[in-house]
């Protein structure tokens, strides 16, 4: 479809108010079935600009649908990216307020701390590792604004890829002293093991997933910046949780990260 400037801002308003009012809404493609992925990225950009106008600051990037299993589930062959803003950063030692969400889910991720700007369209995993000062254990809280967490690819891209909150654990390590290609992970809820996986689930290596995002940004003349935090994509299925639940993600070598919900 050709997105007219009235329609894009109308969709931005629709998604932004759903987020602020913690309300699930019918997906955008129910009304605009011809919305393309490129148009959805333009809407996402305007949505972030709207949040910036209200005081939010971009602090990094997140990848989504980076595992083959998740891509197949959605019938797509591409990952997606969205932006992280400072108001999404949650602290491990503060109980998470369930009332801030619609229907949140937690997923285990590896965070990359970027020490140099990087831009291009032929970026490799090695380039990403060169500019990564640390990697750290992370939990992302996703909270799609769409009814029952159901959407098509353009829908989820427009909705900033379900981004909502994230936690970073305290063990930060140089990627050069780890075998990042295969870090085992166990995620538990209230002391019961819920998911097990390995960092290999993220396109074979989490740095490959970050390189994909840098190349995709490069096509639009953008890049990643010194100081950015990048969540490289869930390495297992996301799990839902309720008030009073506690989630713990333990990585081999890379330590753990956890939160409790009030």
| Residues making contact with ligand OOG (CB under 6 A) | 62, 64-66, 70, 107, 140, 142, 144, 156, 161-162, 233-234
Of 112, 117, 115, the C-alpha closest to 81 is: 112
Q: Which stretch binds Mg ion (CB under 5 A): 13-21, 66-74, 122-130, 231-239?
A: 231-239
* 140 is an interface residue for Mg ion by CB under 5 A: yes
157 binds Mg ion (CB under 5 A): no
Asked whether position 228 contacts Mg ion by CB under 5 A, the answer is no
State in angstroms the smallest separation of the CB of 228 from ligand OOG. 16
For residue 173 the two structure tokens come to 């390590």
CB of 233 to ligand OOG, least distance (A): 4
**What does each C-alpha distance from 173 to 98, 110, 114, 147, 168 come to in angstroms?**
31, 11, 12, 38, 12
Alpha carbon distance 165, 153 (integer Å)? 21
Establish if 234 lies at the interface with Mg ion (CB under 5 A). yes
Q: How many CA atoms lie within 13 A of 122 on its CB side?
A: 0
Minimum distance, C-beta of residue 235 to ligand OOG, in the bound complex (Å): 8
Residue 161 contacts which entry, ligand OOG, Mg ion, none (Cβ below 5-8 A, type-dependent): ligand OOG
Choice between 32 and 84, CB closer to Mg ion: 84
What are the b/e assignments for 93-125, b being 16+ CB within 10 Å? eeebeeeebbebbbbbbbbbbbeeebeeeebeb
The entry of ligand OOG, Mg ion, none that residue 27 binds, CB within 5 to 8 Å by partner kind = none
Among residues 188 and 209, whose Cβ is nearest to Mg ion?
209
Question: Shortest approach of Mg ion to residue 107 CB, angstroms?
Answer: 5
DSSP H helical segments within the chain, as ranges?
Answer: 5-20, 28-31, 37-53, 68-74, 125-130, 153-158, 206-219
* 217 part of the interface to Mg ion, by CB under 5 A: no
Residues lying near Mg ion in the complex (CB under 5 A) are found at: 140, 234
């Amino acid at each position: 479809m050709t997105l007219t400037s009235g329609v894009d801002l109308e969709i931005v308003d629709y998604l932004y108010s759903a987020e602020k009012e913690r309300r699930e809404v019918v997906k955008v493609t129910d009304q605009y079935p011809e919305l393309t992925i490129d148009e959805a990225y333009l809407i996402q950009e305007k949505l972030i600009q709207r949040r910036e106008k209200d005081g939010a600051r971009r602090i990094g990037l997140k990848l989504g649908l980076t595992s083959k299993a998740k891509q197949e589930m959605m019938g797509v062959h591409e990952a997606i990216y969205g932006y992280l803003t400072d108001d999404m950063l949650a602290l491990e030692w503060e109980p998470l307020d369930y009332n801030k969400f619609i229907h949140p889910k937690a997923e285990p991720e590896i965070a990359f701390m970027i020490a140099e700007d990087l831009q291009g369209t032929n970026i490799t995993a090695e380039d990403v590792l060169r500019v990564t000062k640390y990697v750290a254990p992370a939990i992302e809280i996703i909270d799609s604004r769409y009814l029952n967490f159901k959407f098509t690819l353009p829908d989820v891209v427009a909705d900033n890829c379900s981004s909502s909150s994230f936690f970073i654990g305290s063990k930060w390590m140089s990627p050069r002293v780890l075998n990042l290609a295969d870090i085992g992970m166990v995620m538990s809820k209230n002391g019961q093991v819920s998911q097990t996986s390995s960092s290999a689930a993220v396109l074979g290596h989490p740095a490959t997933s970050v390189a994909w995002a840098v190349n995709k940004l490069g096509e639009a003349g953008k890049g990643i910046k010194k100081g950015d935090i990048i969540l490289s994509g869930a390495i297992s299925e996301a799990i839902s949780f309720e008030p009073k639940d506690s989630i713990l993600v333990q990585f081999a070598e890379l330590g753990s990260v956890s939160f409790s919900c009030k």
